[in-house]
Amino acid sequence: MKKAQYKETTLTVIIVILCLLFFGLGVSVPFIFDRGSQSEAAVSDEKFNAIYDLLREEWYFADEVEDIDKVLLEKAIEGMTDLEEDPHTNYFDLESAQEFSESLEGSNVGLGMSYFLDGDQNFVVKDIFLDSPAEDAGLEVGDVITMIDGQACSETDSDTLVQLIKDHEGTPIEIVYTHGGKTQSKMVEPKEYDETVSCQLFEDQGYALIRLTSFSENSGADFAKAMNRIQEAGIQNLILDLRGNTGGYLSAAVDIASSLLPEGSVVVQEEDKDGNRSESKTNDDYEQVQLDQIVILQNGTTASASEALIGALKDNLGSIVTTVGTTSYGKGTEQTSVPFSDGTSIKYTIAKWYTPNGDSIDQEGFEPDIEASSSEIEDVQYNAEETQETLEPDTVSVNAKAVQIFLKYLGYSADRTDEYFSVASSEALKLFQKDNALTISGKCDPETWDKLYQKAMLKYNQDTLYTDSQIETAVHQFETS
């Protein structure tokens, strides 16, 4: 009897101490869930519902959150899809879902060209997409557009001009530009175009260059048109530029491969979660254009469908195909997207893909046959949110690396290019600030970042407009074969 009393007294003391401890920490203990004999699934459901109700009804800040019910559910869904094993499964809110969908469409409205702004804010044509208004009008790489529909580019915000072009879809507008030092003007009608395929013929050098920016619904058809141009010109050597192409529809990679491979060739193998494998073969709607050589340009952001295309061409065509550049990204999984009625969507992994020979490059990538490093500035990464903050000297930041790379590229004496922003690099930044009429502080504030980024990108675009070391390496392959 005394033993029982001791146990009861001890238990009471423990409970009192625990309660005092929790209250001392500012934590209340309203109740404890009794799992009893419930199944694990039932306990999880109960826990989810309890946490949801607690945050909605008893959380101190609940009244400060607009539409708390929706916010809690959205956060729960985001948590479910934030999986360490699979970074490519994602839940998209309304804005992100729209952006993702648009990125897969590959279509746009405008003149159909990529460009950069020169020092006077004029549009310098960098690339022209297949069957676009710019191509139909005869614009060429390097042309400088100075006026659009009567508005001077140097006096008008570029975003305003882009929107002006879009607003004139189907209505011709006057484009004033310089070509070879001479001013010309043309009436160009903005329209919808596919922005994934561009093609340049270098007949005097015996090769063609096709750039693929992504794999959209129309990429296969546009690629076939480009291959027909190459065939009609009698060109037998192709440079296929996949640098920066992060992928898209795997079916588009199959269509594109169909213009380069013999009929009935296996393009890719797919394996579902149960281990069942299937093969995707060339599309009979396309015919092979035979070539003597294909050189593929790749880098660290060449991924997914791009890598599937590389695997298909290398496995099926052998020595005809040479890869040049740096190791590709290494994404050997396939995703599908499911939209919801509220405009949100989920993208999740449904399979792994393998090359025709059964190899996986997931998390490894393709090593190039010929290593050809790009400029350090091409691979620079930075945190966009942190660009709105001030980077102090003698601190560590991912943006410090970008700042110092930009400074060195522009000819300033930054002493390192890692994530430590040194005092010496800060002194170099002061010189940059002085040269560009900025506040001389040695700190990279948002205004300094914008000017530094603008100057670095302008120099890079000007340097690579006509000269590209990796393309030169590719052309050399044709000359030595």
Query: Per-10-residue mean pLDDT for the chain, 481 residues long?
Result: 43 42 45 57 83 93 93 93 93 91 89 96 96 96 97 96 97 96 96 96 96 96 98 98 96 98 98 96 97 97 97 98 97 95 95 97 96 86 93 96 97 96 98 98 97 96 92 92 70
Please count the structural domains in the chain.
5
Q: Are 359 and 371 in contact, with CB atoms under 8 Å apart?
A: no
205 and 313 together in one domain: yes
| CA distance linking residue 260 with residue 291, whole number of Å | 8
What CATH number is attached to the domain comprising 398?
1.10.101.10
366 and 247 together in one domain: yes
- pLDDT at 455 (0 to 100): 96
Integer-rounded Cα Rg, in Å, for the chain is: 29
Residue 185 forms part of a structural domain? yes
- pLDDT at 232 (0 to 100): 97
Neighbours of 376 (CB within 10 A): 12
What is residue 476's DSSP assignment?
H
275 and 286 together in one domain: yes
188 and 203 together in one domain: no
68 and 50 together in one domain: yes
Q: Which domain holds residue 170?
A: 107-193
3-state helix, strand, coil in the chain (%, to 5): 40, 25, 35
Residue 85 forms part of a structural domain? no
258 and 324 together in one domain: yes
Residue 324 forms part of a structural domain? yes
Residue 43 forms part of a structural domain? yes
238 and 265 together in one domain: yes
Q: End of a domain among 193, 218, 250?
A: 193
Q: Are 370 and 364 in contact, with CB atoms under 8 Å apart?
A: no
Per-residue CA distances from 283 to 104, 310, 312 (Å): 20, 17, 13
Q: Are 216 and 249 in contact, with CB atoms under 8 Å apart?
A: yes
213 and 359 together in one domain: yes
What CATH number is attached to the domain comprising 124?
2.30.42.10
Q: End of a domain among 350, 373, 396?
A: 373
218 and 326 together in one domain: yes
- pLDDT at 36 (0 to 100): 54
Neighbours of 71 (CB within 10 A): 14
360 and 215 together in one domain: yes
| CA distance linking residue 232 with residue 188, whole number of Å | 27
Residue 113 forms part of a structural domain? yes
235 and 362 together in one domain: yes
Residue 42 forms part of a structural domain? yes
153 and 242 together in one domain: no
Q: End of a domain among 344, 373, 402?
A: 373
Q: Are 328 and 284 in contact, with CB atoms under 8 Å apart?
A: no
Residue 5 forms part of a structural domain? yes
What CATH number is attached to the domain comprising 218?
3.90.226.10
Q: Tokens 């710019």 correspond to what residue?
A: 134
Per-residue CA distances from 346 to 63, 67, 343 (Å): 29, 22, 10
Distance in Å from the first CA to the final CA of the chain: 99
Q: Are 459 and 410 in contact, with CB atoms under 8 Å apart?
A: yes
| CA distance linking residue 278 with residue 30, whole number of Å | 55
Q: Tokens 């360490």 correspond to what residue?
A: 84
Question: Which spans in 331-420 are helix H?
Answer: 398-409
Residue 87 forms part of a structural domain? no
| CA distance linking residue 92 with residue 346, whole number of Å | 6
- pLDDT at 40 (0 to 100): 76
Q: Are 206 and 237 in contact, with CB atoms under 8 Å apart?
A: yes
Residues 440-461, buried b or exposed e (16+ Cβ, 10 A)?
Answer: eebbbbeebbebbbebbebebe
